Structures are given as C-alpha cells and as structure tokens.
C-alpha cells in the first residue's frame, strides 16, 4: 500500500479533487465504477503527480495506507449509499470514509451513526467551489469526529483554497455539521444571486439600461464593500455576446432558473427549526416561479394588468438611484447572512454541534461561490461576540444598515410602484422592520387563536409562561376548533 488517500468517483468533481490532492504531494488511489473514467484521468493527467489507479474496490482499499482514508465523490443519494456499503465491507475499524458530495445532512447523521457502529470514521464534508474549486482550491466543510480530523485535517488543509494566508477549511463539528453548514452556504448563495438579479432587473427594465452599462455598474460595485465572486461573474455574464445572433447572451437565455435542491433543504430545515430565513425562502420561491412556464404563460394570456416596470427617473437622478440599489443590495445581503447564521446556530443547538461561526465565515472567504470581502468583517463580528444573537446587532453591520436604509426603502417603494418584483429586497426589509418593532401585531393573532381555538395567550403584566383564556364576546365564537 502506497497511497495516503483515495478518491472514489472520478467525474468532474472527483477527478479534479484527485488531481488537486496529487499536486500537493499526496499519493492518490483512484477508483470509479466504470474504469474508463479512471483511464481517462490517467491518460490526460497521470503525469501530474502520484496516482494509483485501481479496477475494483478491493484493489482500491488494498492500495491505501492505514488508517485508510477514502473520499467519495459520486452522485448524492442512492449511489453514495452503495459506494459507502462497498467501502465499509472492504475497510477496517479505524479507517476513514469521507463523503464530499452534496449529501443531505440528515443522511450524513444516519450514515455516520451506522458506520461508527462498525468502528470506522465517517466524515460528511461540504465541498464548495464547483469543478474549478475542486482543482485549484475549494472551501471545505468537514464534519465527523475529532479523531478523524487529526488524520484528515492536514490533507484537507493542503488542498483547500487560501484566503488571507489561511486554508479555507475547519473542522465544523460532529456527524452532519459539515453538510449542514454547506447546505446553509448554498441557501445564502441563492439569496446573494437573487439580490443581484433584482438589482439587474431594476436597472434593465426600470432604468432602461443596456447589459453593457449594467455590467460596468457591477464592475464598479466590485471595487467596494460588495466585492465578491458573484458580483464579478455577473459583470462577465452581462458583457457576454451571443456568437449566433450578436445580441447580449443574457437576452437569448431562457428565463427559468434551475435548482438541485440544497436551497429547498435550507428552507425546509429552517421551517423545522422555526428559524426565519425569509431572504433564502424568497430566493428559492423566485426560482420556482420562474420555472412554472404554464403559470407564467397563463398570466400573459389572462392579461394580468399593472405598471410596465419602467421607472420615471430623470437622467439627472439616475446615478443616485443606482446608488440606492447598491445600498439596498448591501443591506439585504447583510440580512441574508444574519438569517443564514441564525439557522446554523439554531441547527447547532438542535443537533448538538459546537460550531465556531467566526471560523465558518473565515473558510467562506476563499474557494466557494459566496466568497466575498465582506466575510472578513462578518468573521470579526462573530469573533468579538458582537454577532452572537444576530449579525445585525454587531456595530459595524448596524451602522451599515443604518446608512443604507433610506435607499433600501426607496428602492422597495419604487419597485412596488413600477411593478418590478423584488422579493428578497422587500422581504429582507420586512424582516428588519419586524425585528426592530417593539410591539408586533402577533398580539392580534394570539387573540384570534384564543377566540377560535382556545389556544390561550400570555399577558404583558403576568409572568412569562402564564396562559390566559378569554370567553370572547359573541358573535364570532364558532363551535369548531383549529
């Protein structure tokens, strides 16, 4: 046995990860269900480092030095279970199985328990950064035991992206913690992308700007506090021309956003935990609405009326409105992160993980899709304890939102007037206003619930937890319960 690590599953992600491992001095055992992929990797990149190609799981396991460490990069779900089972049968207690796929964290919790019972370590590891990241440095979010981290940590550190001199990997927590954090990362990615899309829509339809002009605006924004990978690639997308028609490529792309499920998991999990992630939720629903062609075509046919999306803004006021949009984007982004981190914190409480939020923000600074300048200050806010309850309470972000909020309100108001949907801008503002309201209309809801269902309510002048019920005045007390 010569390999210190192995990769099972050599499609785009697995082969790039294997090459990255080899580039950093690891000897990498290779296995793929169909041998052709292994052959292809060896033919094309076999000279890039030390690889040990194998044709069966048994050969693969025999090629690994103890404790054997194998990273699985196959399709999530059933294929991952099949691969795990084959590996567990061939491996021995003390060995480490790493799932680098986008697995659902509850599957990871279940698998970790079963594999631990057989004396092996199981590490669910979130991998972000796509194919490019896998090759040149991803952001890595491993869960699993402390003991497995001792073996795995140095290997993962060698291949992770580097941000401000630090590798973008940290041991997130036990069992499913890594995949949980990766899931929320993807949820935040959904809201980041939707916020950028809403900004684009306001400039394109609202202000009648060209894709090139808007691309230039994003280039400018990328020089400031919004500096991030997603803002950068947005400019590239906007400037791209279609080879066939010469039009902006964006104008020939069908306007239906796809999704693979991690955003939905983020929202489902938030609903289970009772965490408010309105920004992420609206971003997922915006994609869902975009992908309902029948409904959308039906609306066109039915001729639903409303303003046409154009904003009547004079040329003189245009620059100021673009600046308003930038502020709205920044403030909403802060809310999206505040909500995402709240979900991580609520998940950690529910599942018994000790997650270092500052470290999570640090490992998202490089390699992953949401990498951004902004994460430096997010990390500082958690490090100092100022963001313990909410990122919005940390003085830096409190001030940022204060400075942005007049603009933010103007953008939401103007968007509503002109008929451009800005679900994440507006729901983020509603969340912010809900959060800071001393008294919410929830009292009225409690009154209604007590009237129709005797659900009881608390009183402002009674101790916390005391329950009261009123025999409400007729009419309006139906016989049925909720």
- Chosen residue from 1, 2, 11, 236 binding ligand NDP by CB under 6 A: 11
The answer on whether 175 is annotated among ligand-binding residues is no
Q: Is 66 a catalytic residue?
A: no
The nearer residue to ligand NDP, 74 or 361, going by C-beta atoms, is: 74
Cα–Cα distances in angstroms (integers) from residue 302 to residues 299, 341, 416, in the given order: 5, 42, 21
Give the count of residues interacting with ligand NDP (CB under 6 A): 22
Q: Which of 36, 39, 65, 189 is catalytic?
A: 189
Q: Give the bridge partners for 30, in sequence order.
A: 7, 53
Cα–Cα distances in angstroms (integers) from residue 449 to residues 119, 452, 475, in the given order: 51, 5, 15
Site for ligand NDP in 129-148 (CB under 6 A): 130-131
Q: Is 189 a catalytic residue?
A: yes
In angstroms, give the least distance from the CB of 36 to ligand NDP.
Answer: 7
The answer on whether 128 is annotated among ligand-binding residues is yes
The answer on whether 102 is annotated among ligand-binding residues is yes
* Position 83 contacts ligand NDP (CB under 6 A): yes
- Chosen residue from 3, 5, 7, 13 binding ligand NDP by CB under 6 A: 13
| Part in contact with ligand NDP (CB under 6 A); list of ranges 3-11, 44-52, 348-356, 380-388 | 3-11
* Position 56 contacts ligand NDP (CB under 6 A): no
* Position 9 contacts ligand NDP (CB under 6 A): yes
Helix axes 315-351, 423-436, angle to 10 degrees: 60
| Part in contact with ligand NDP (CB under 6 A); list of ranges 76-84, 218-226, 265-273, 378-386 | 76-84
Site for ligand NDP in 103-132 (CB under 6 A): 127, 130-131
Dihedral, CA atoms, 192, 193, 199, 201, nearest 10 degrees? -160
- Chosen residue from 1, 82, 319, 320 binding ligand NDP by CB under 6 A: 82
In angstroms, give the least distance from the CB of 174 to ligand NDP.
Answer: 21
The nearer residue to ligand NDP, 57 or 207, going by C-beta atoms, is: 57
* Position 75 contacts ligand NDP (CB under 6 A): yes
The answer on whether 4 is annotated among ligand-binding residues is no
The answer on whether 449 is annotated among ligand-binding residues is yes
Collect all residues with Cβ–Cβ distance below 8 Å to 148 and sequence separation of at least 6.
96, 121, 123
Q: Give the bridge partners for 166, in sequence order.
A: 163
| Part in contact with ligand NDP (CB under 6 A); list of ranges 5-13, 43-51, 61-69, 112-120 | 5-13
* Position 12 contacts ligand NDP (CB under 6 A): yes
Q: Which of 40, 112, 174, 182 is catalytic?
A: 182
Site for ligand NDP in 201-220 (CB under 6 A): none
* Position 436 contacts ligand NDP (CB under 6 A): no
* Position 40 contacts ligand NDP (CB under 6 A): no
Is residue 228 within 8 Å of 222, Cβ to Cβ?
A: yes
The answer on whether 260 is annotated among ligand-binding residues is yes
- Chosen residue from 28, 57, 73, 391 binding ligand NDP by CB under 6 A: 73
* Position 37 contacts ligand NDP (CB under 6 A): yes
Dihedral, CA atoms, 442, 448, 454, 460, nearest 10 degrees? 40
The answer on whether 126 is annotated among ligand-binding residues is no
| Residue 391 CB-half CA count within 13 A | 28
* Position 10 contacts ligand NDP (CB under 6 A): yes
Residue whose beta carbon is closest to ligand NDP? 101
Which residues have a catalytic role annotated?
182, 189
- Annotated binding site for substrate, which residues? 102, 128-130, 185-186, 190, 260, 287, 449, 455
- Annotated binding site, which residues? 102, 128-130, 185-186, 190, 260, 287, 449, 455
Judged by the rule CB under 6 A, the positions of this chain that interact with ligand NDP are 9-14, 32-34, 37, 73-76, 79, 82-83, 101-102, 127, 130-131
């Amino acid at each position: 046995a010569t390999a210190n690590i192995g990769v099972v599953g050599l499609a785009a992600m697995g082969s790039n990860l294997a090459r990255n491992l080899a580039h950093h001095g690891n000897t990498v055992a290779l296995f793929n269900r169909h041998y052709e992929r292994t052959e292809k990797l060896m033919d094309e990149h076999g000279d890039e480092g030390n690889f040990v190609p194998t044709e069966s799981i048994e050969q693969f396991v025999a090629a690994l030095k103890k404790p054997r460490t194998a990273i699985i990069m196959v399709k999530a779900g059933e294929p991952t279970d099949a691969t795990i089972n084959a590996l567990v049968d061939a491996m021995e207690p003390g060995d480490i199985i790493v799932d680098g796929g986008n697995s659902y964290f509850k599957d990871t919790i279940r698998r970790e328990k079963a594999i631990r019972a057989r004396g092996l370590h199981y590490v669910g590891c979130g991998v972000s950064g796509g194919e490019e990241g896998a090759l040149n440095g991803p952001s890595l979010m491993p869960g699993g035991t402390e003991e497995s981290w001792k073996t795995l940590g140095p290997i993962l550190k060698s291949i992770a992206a580097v941000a401000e001199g630090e590798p973008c990997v940290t041991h997130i927590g036990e069992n499913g913690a890594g995949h949980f954090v990766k899931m929320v990362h993807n949820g935040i990615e959904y809201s980041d992308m939707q916020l950028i899309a809403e900004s684009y829509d306001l400039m394109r339809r609202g202000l009648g700007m060209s894709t090139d002009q808007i691309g230039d605006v994003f280039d400018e924004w990328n020089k400031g506090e919004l500096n991030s990978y997603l803002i950068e690639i947005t400019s590239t997308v906007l400037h791209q021309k279609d080879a066939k028609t010469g039009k902006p490529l964006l104008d020939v792309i069908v306007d239906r956003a796809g999704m693979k499920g991690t955003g939905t998991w983020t929202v489902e999990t938030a609903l289970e935990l009772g965490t408010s992630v309105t920004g992420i939720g609206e971003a997922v629903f915006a994609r869902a609405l975009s992908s309902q062609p029948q409904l959308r075509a039906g609306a066109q046919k039915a001729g639903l009326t409303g303003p046409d999306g154009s904003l009547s803004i004079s040329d003189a006021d245009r620059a100021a409105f673009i600046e308003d949009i930038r502020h709205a984007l920044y403030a909403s982004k802060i809310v999206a992160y505040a909500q995402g981190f709240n979900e991580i914190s609520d998940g950690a409480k529910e599942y018994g993980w000790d997650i270092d939020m500052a470290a999570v923000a640090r490992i998202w600074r490089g390699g992953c899709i949401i990498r951004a300048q902004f994460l430096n200050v997010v990390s500082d806010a958690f490090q100092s304890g100022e963001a313990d309850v909410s990122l919005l309470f940390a003085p830096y972000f409190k001030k940022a939102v204060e400075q942005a909020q007049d603009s933010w309100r103007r953008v939401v108001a103007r968007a509503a007037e002109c008929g451009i949907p800005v679900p994440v801008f507006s729901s983020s503002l509603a969340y912010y206003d809900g959060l800071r309201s001393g008294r919410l209309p929830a009292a009225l809801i409690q009154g209604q619930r007590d009237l129709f269902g005797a659900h009881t309510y608390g009183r402002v002048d009674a101790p916390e937890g005391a329950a009261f019920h009123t025999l409400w005045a007729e009419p309006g007390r139906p016989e049925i319960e909720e």
